[in-house]
Each structure stands twice: as C-alpha cells, then as structure tokens.
Chains A and B, each alone.
Chain A
Amino acid sequence: MTENRMGARQVELEVLRYNPETDQEPKFQRYSVPCINEWCVLDALNYLKDNLDPTLAYRWSCHMQVCGSCGMMINGEPKLACKAMLRDYPGTIRIEPLAHFPIERDLVSVADDFIAKLKRVKPYIISDGKHTIEQGEYKQTPAQLKRYRQFAMCINCMLCYAACPEYGLQPKFIGPAAISLAHRYNLDSRDVGRDERQEEIATNEGVWECTFVGACSDVCPKHVDPAAALQQVKVASTVDWYLEHFMSWVKK
C-alpha cells in the first residue's frame, strides 16, 4: 500500500530570503534538503529550519489545510505549503512569499491590507433584531444553508490575492476573499445587512474592479470559487440599478 512513499529524496530548494535589517534587497538562497517522498513542502521547510538554517522565517501552524497560515508562492503559484506535496514537484522547488504583498521577512508577507479589507465588508450577521436568543434558532433549511455555505469555507489564506492580476495592479481592489465573505453574509437567510455591504463592494474598488480572469478560483485550496461570488454580486448590483431606476421611472 505504500509504493515508494517512504523513499528518501534530496530536494533542492530555492528560497527567497529577505531581512529588512540586514539586506538591501531579497535574494534566493539554495538548500539541499533530505526529504521523504510523502512529505509536503512545509515538511521540507520544517526540516530545513530545524537542521540547516534556524534563521529562516515563515508562518505555519495546523499542517492540515485549515488555519491558512502557510500560503506562499511555490514554483510561481500561490499554494498552501502543507497542501503542496513533494510528489508533485520532481525538480528544484522555488519558494517565495505571496505575490502582491510587501515582504515582512523571508516568506512572511505583510497582511495588514487584507485584514483591513476583511473588516471593511462587515462580515457578520446584521440582524433585524426581532428574533431573540430565548426564541431559539433561526430556522434555516438545508437549501438555505447551501446557498451560502461554499462562500463560508474561506480560510483567509490570501492565495487568491496573490493570484489576482487586478489586485497586483490596483491594491485598492477589495479583492476576492473579502468580497466572497460579504456575499456569504448577503446570502444568509438570517441577515438583513446587504444594503450596507453593497456600499463597500458594489463599487469601483469592489466588484467592478474585477475583470473576471478567474485566477482566484483556480488557486483556492477550499473550492470557495470567489470568481462566482464576484459575478453574482455584479449581477445582483446590476439588477439593483435597474430596479432603482426603472421603479423611479414607473413612479413618475
């Protein structure tokens, strides 16, 4: 059952290093790391840190694809290091911090912009205040749950921002994950906050910045499909616009 999975392999890593205190600019450092075939890239990094170079900085925690810490560019693609299996990388592996974010140090990106955007889209239930805890749960059928569930799967790993060409060009763009999250609450049967969120996301910095390249959905490790969320928001806000203008015309 374990054909060559436990076999050893020497893996060549090219890791981008940058320490703002000592380096003028980022540069690649090469390491040769003894690995087990079944490892993921994160295992190789952990071996490297423990045995070859304790000064390398990167984020990680759960090693099970859910905490969202270990996003990095692996051979030019945004990946979770704990989900990038060595078996899929036969040659030298080039590892860089996530594209489109400033580098804090080595593979650690500055996440401030993303964190601020998450907050901006009001990602929480805005209720009408009529239903109290004492009255029990909001009834939400499996069909109603299914409407938004996929968009609730986002682990905030920021891979979609690293993949998005628009975000690379225009950092004001609220971006795939935050807009998907807003959409998730807009679709939730318990929520009445859509109008407030639309003010943030149905704008030029919001969905209208998106040119529907779809790279966000390609790289999403959790199949959230942010591109679909963005398209749905675009359609809904177009409908809003027509309703508003058509209705005011009817009233005349």
Chain B
Amino acid sequence: METIQTDVAIIGAGGAGLRAAIALAQEAPNLRIALISKVYPMRSHTCAAEGGAAGVIKPDDSFDHHFHDTVGGGDWLCDQDAVEYFIHEAPKELMQLEHWGCPWNREADGSVAVRPFGGMKIQRTWFAADKSGFHILHALFQTSLQFPQIQRFDEYFATDLLVDDGRCQGLTAIEMRSGQMRRFNAKAVIIAGGGAGRMFPFNTNGAVNTGDGMAMAYRAGAPLKDMEFVQYHPTGLPNTGTLLTEACRAEGGVLLNKDNYRFLQDYGMGPETPKGKPVLKTMELGPRDRVSQAIWGEMQKGRAVKTDWGDCVWLDMRHLGEKKMDERLPFVRDICISYLGLDPVHEMIPIRPVMHYMMGGIHTDTKAATSLPGLFAAGECACVSINGANRLGSNSLVEILVFGHRAALSAASYAAGVKPGNEAALTTQAEANQSRLRELFMRSLGKETVAGLRKEMTDTMEEGAGIYRTQEGMDKSCKKLSELRRRYQDIALHDKTNVYNTDLLSALELGNMLDCAEALMTSGRERKESRGAHQRIDFKARDDVKYLKHSMAYFNGLETPRIDYRDVVVTKSQPGVRDYSGAKK
C-alpha cells in the first residue's frame, strides 16, 4: 500500500478544514499538510449556508450580549468557557475573512453591514447577500491556493483512523480515481468532516453529509457528545427540503397558518410585531427550536396549510418588494421559482421544518482536542459545546473558522512533540482496513441493498428523533437501528470495479450514518427531559438536577453504545428561563 508521509492530516476540506490548513501554513510553515476530502473543496456543504456569520463589531453590541444570546439560546447546555473563547475570536476571524476578500455586504460608508438573526438581542450577523457560506468557502479555498505546503488530496475517501500506542497516527483513505487504498502517516489528525444530516429523510444537507468524520472518531474510541440535539430549521421547501434562510424572516418575512394568522404569538413568542418590521428576539426572530416546535403545534391543532407535500405553514415575504428581495435574498427567490414554481415576490411560500444541523458531534475541549491524543476536530462534526441544546443561526459559520483555526494550533504544537510510531503495528492496521474492504468486494449479493437499508434508517430516524419525541418511539427506533447495523454486515456491492465506485462509497457512508444514528437515538432515549431541540412529550420540563450534563456515547461494536455523562461548564450564567416574548422589551 502506498504510504504518504505528512505532519498534519486534515480530513474534510470545507470551511473548518480549509481554515485549519491555512492556519497551519501560516503559523507553522515548516509542517507538511495533507488536506484530504471526498469532494473538491468548493463542493463541501459550507457552500450551502445562506444567512451569515455572527461576530461583535458594532458599537451598540457587546461580548456579553453575544455570550448570553448563545448560552440562553442553547438552553444552558453550552460550555461557557468555550462560548467565551468563541465570541472573542469571532470578530477577528470574520475580519480576517474580510482581508481575504470575502464580499461582505456593506454600509454606505464602506464598513461591514450586519443583519438581525433569530435569538439575537442585537444585530450582529455579517452577511454576503444570502450566499454567505458560499462566499466564505470560496474565499478560503482560493486563499489556500497560495500555500505550497498544503498538499490536497481531492476525492480521497477517508475510511479509518490509525491508532496505536493510545494515540492517533494517521488514516487510510481510498483514492477514488483508482480505487486504491492509501495510507497517511501523520503526527496529528484533524477531523473536519461536517455533519450527518443524511441520516434523516427530509433534510437540508448535501449528499456528502454522512457523518464520516464522526463515525471514524467514534469507532476509534473518541466519544460522541450530545448527539440527540438535532436542529430542525423552520423554513424548508416542502418538497425538496431546500433551506430558505432565517434571513427571510430577519428581513421581514412572516409565518402564517391556514387562517393567515401569525401563530408564533400563541407559543410564548408574542405579542405580534408590525409586519415587515421585525423585532429582535421575538416572533419570527425567535430561536429555531421554538419556531419549529410552534409549527409542529399548528400541525397538531389542524391549523396547518394542506399541500401536496403534506402539512405546511406559509412564509409570506410579498411585502418586502422586488428590490429588497433581489438585493438581500436573490438566491431564495431563485430556489423558490426553480423547485416550487412560486415567486416569493408575488406569492406566499409553503414551508415546513426540516432537519438541518447536528449540535452534537465528536467531543472536544476548548482547544479542539478530542479525548484521543493526536486527534483534533472542528466544525459540525465536532462538539466543543458552543451550541448546547440549540444552535443560534449564524454561529456555525463562525464556529468553523474559530475552531478550525484552534485545531490547527493545537495540532501543530502536539505534532512538535511526537515521537515516531511503531511502523509494524501501523502497517498491520492499515492492511486490516484494506482486507475489510476486500471482504466487502468479495461478498456475494444477498437481499440487503444500500438503498433499502438507507430507506429503513431514514424512516426510523424521523419516527424516533423528530421535533417531539417519546420513550416508546425512541426505544422502537433504537431496536430498529440495532437490527439495521446487524443486517448491514451482510450488505454486498453490485459494482465490483475500482474507478470512482460510488456503490462502494455509498455503502461505506451508510455504515457511518448507522453508527452515528445509533449514538444519537441511544443518547436521546436516555435523556428524560426536554431541553432545546430535544423535546419529549413524556418529560416536558427541563431537569437541571439530572441533566445539566452532556451525553457521551461510546462505541461498543455491534452492541448498543455505552452512554455516560459529563458536567456542563458553567461560569457566569446560571440556567434560567428562555424568554422570547416581546412584551417586556
């Protein structure tokens, strides 16, 4: 097997991976960097983020405001030391992107403009129209091209980490063009592999978001933290699940039920605010968990709009006018016309909540280090706990920058003290990974198919881990996932060739998703309270005595994962009431 020698290997070349690579190239210029991704960097899902990125910059804002918005928004499950670090680094990172050419929207005087976002007390979201993630990703990718130390391995599918002597020392990956397995020897590895939204049938995520990074770390012994916290974005297109950014509401769009009534006022987010003049932190600018839960409530009460795609509510943006729509939300307009045939300038858009983001992920400390020495993680695949039980919109685009950068610094300093590994042990492991792959190729076709198992998985995820959950539902889904993981052992390939074999890659992705899915469902089943995005019909209240804790899921082979708990770091904000009513303001 061909072996590539590097110092730091980065898995994933989206926002977090690229930020880490650039930080290493600039701040540890003598290190060799291998940037490994199953897609070309600009295909990564960072490109699909629309609304913007939060960072304190305006004179009326303060770090304290950003801190409290984030911690309260996360229903106090955030680690407050991580949040503190995050909010202070946020403006620096966004400013750095400005210097790297990100086309942020501007005020008349040429300074960076900000827009309001859900759950935020002060406007602090930097934005590039409604393509903020796209511009961030391309600015990072293009900036990275000037550094010869960054060696890219585009379309390499990472399969497993190499762990020996209790530390991570590299990985194996399939070069998709040849189908050959390659081994990367690295002093440190950073996982920046993105989310796992494809576990769910109705989601905003790209095909790439299959939790590969999470699953790899999990199988190598690093625990997955707070996996039960799944963000449903309130405004997805009802047929395709395509995201319509929260900026639709921040710019003045309103949500209506079938009676054209702004129902959010019935769910603790009133009183009604003037149409087209959104008020921060209330009504349509409530946090995502609460708004999605309110839409679910309308569906239960029979006040939803019946459509061919199921129950929806209306997103009305007609009053914004064509000029504002084209200046602030041009992409949203294009998408609505393309996929629904409806122009939001003239028509109301039916929407429904859609699985969007994983608050949970690979447990890291505030330095982006996982519990496995030599392994670091950043971005959606990681859980450094700034998002808690519910992420605020526009914090994740900053998280990839802040913690991508932090992971790079940690990996560089770790790499400096690493002794050479046991070559023979690493070779044995790499060869075992290759044998497993060969075995998958050799297996003759049975009755299990990738598409079939995937369908059963996504169905049971929706049933068990929707917006509202029950013990019975989650128990049933746990059982189902356990069964699917066993049946997965019999999966076989139709395609036995080497070049760009997507039948093989889909099978590996399915395995990764099943691992993440079981960690998610088991963590959820054990959390007998309602907090943020984890809402239980049978345990309606938050229980800070028992569950002001992070769930930690440990891989346990084909058996159910072991769940443990870890204290939440509380520094200056004691758990309180999340108040999104506008009355007192």
Q: Which residues of A contact B (CB under 8 A)?
A: 1-2, 5-6, 19-22, 38, 40, 49-51, 53-69, 83, 85, 104-106, 108, 111, 115, 118-119, 122-125, 127, 131, 133, 136-142, 144-145, 148-149, 152-153, 155-156, 181, 185, 188, 190-191
Q: Taking the complex as formed, is B449 at the interface, i.e. its CB lies under 8 A from any CB of chain A?
A: yes
Can you give 9 contacting A-B residue pairs, CB < 8 Å?
A54-B449, A57-B501, A61-B206, A64-B240, A65-B335, A66-B48, A66-B131, A155-B42, A181-B142
Are B43's CB and A61's CB within 8 A?
Answer: yes
Q: Which of A51, A105, A137 has the most CB of B within 10 A?
A: A137
Chain A residue nearest in CB terms to B113: A142
Q: A61-B43, A69-B39, A122-B146 are in contact. Are A21 and B101 (CB under 8 A)?
A: no
Residue of B with least CB distance to A83: B338
- The answer to the question of B95 belonging to the interface, with a C-beta cut-off of 8 Å to chain A, is yes
Extra pairs beyond A49-B451, A133-B99, A137-B112 (11, CB < 8 Å) = A68-B42, A83-B338, A111-B40, A115-B154, A138-B110, A139-B109, A139-B110, A144-B110, A145-B103, A149-B103, A188-B101
Is B177 on the interface with A (CB-CB < 8 A)? Answer: yes
Q: In the complex, how many angstroms separate the beta carbon of A240 from the nearest chain B beta carbon?
A: 23
Q: How far does the alpha carbon of A155 sit from the alpha carbon of B104 in the complex, in Å?
A: 17
Complex alpha-carbon distance, A192 and B540, angstroms:
59
Say yes or no: B103 contacts A68, CB within 8 Å.
no
Report the interface size for chain B: residues with CB under 8 A from the other chain.
Answer: 64
Interface check B219, CB cutoff 8 A: no
Given contacts A57-B501, A68-B43, contact A50 B451 (CB under 8 A): yes
B403-411, B417-425, B490-498, B564-572 - interface stretch: B490-498
Inside 8 A of B207's CB, which chain A residues have their CB?
A: 60-63
Question: Which residues of the partner chain A approach B104 to less than 8 Å between Cβ atoms?
Answer: 137
Other-chain contact of B98, A55, A106, A123, A138 (Cβ < 8 Å): A138
A57 to B39, Cβ gap below 8 A? no
- Are B40 and A115 in contact, CB atoms less than 8 angstroms apart? yes
Q: Are B502 and A57 in contact (CB under 8 A)?
A: yes
- CB interface residues, B 499-548, toward A, < 8 Å: 499-503, 506
Residues of chain B lying within 8 A (CB to CB) of residue A131: 99
The answer to whether A139 and B111 touch (CB under 8 A), given A50-B451, A66-B47, A127-B99, is yes
Interface residue from A20, A60, A124 paired with B143 (Cβ < 8 Å): A124
CB distance from B306 to the nearest CB of A (A): 11
Residue with the greatest number of chain B CB neighbours at <10 A, chosen from A2, A62, A85, A142? A62
B68 contacts A by Cβ under 8 Å: no
Query: With A51-B451, A145-B103 known to touch, is A64 a contact of B110 (CB < 8 Å)?
Result: no
**Of all chain B residues, which has the CB nearest A131?**
B99
When the two chains form their complex, are residues B48 and A62 in contact, meaning their CB atoms are under 8 A apart?
yes
Interface residues of B in 323-355 (CB under 8 A from A): 331, 334-335, 338-339, 341-342
B293 CB-CB contact with A under 8 Å: no
Q: Which residues B216-267 have CB closer than 8 A to chain A?
A: 239-240, 242-243
Complex formed: what's the CA distance from A106 to B342 in Å?
Answer: 34
| Contact (Cβ within 8 A) B98 A137 | yes
Instruction: Assess whether B469 is interfacial by the CB under 8 Å rule.
Output: no
Contacts of B105 in A (CB 8 A): 142, 145
Determine the residue in chain A with the shortest Cβ distance to B204.
A64
Contact with A along B168-179 (1 / 0, CB 8 A): 000000000100
CB of B45 within 8 A of chain A?
yes
Q: Out of A5, A66, A125, A141, name the residue touching B109 (CB < 8 Å).
A: A141
B239 touches A38 (CB 8 A): yes
A65 in contact with B338 given A124-B143, A137-B111, A190-B101 (CB within 8 Å): yes
Distance between Cα atoms of A135 and B335 in the complex (Å): 38
Question: How far is A77 from B342 in the complex, measured between Cα atoms in Å?
Answer: 26
- Chain B residues near A190: list those with CB within 8 A: 99, 101
Given A104-B500, A124-B101, A124-B146, A62 contacting B45 (CB threshold 8 A): yes
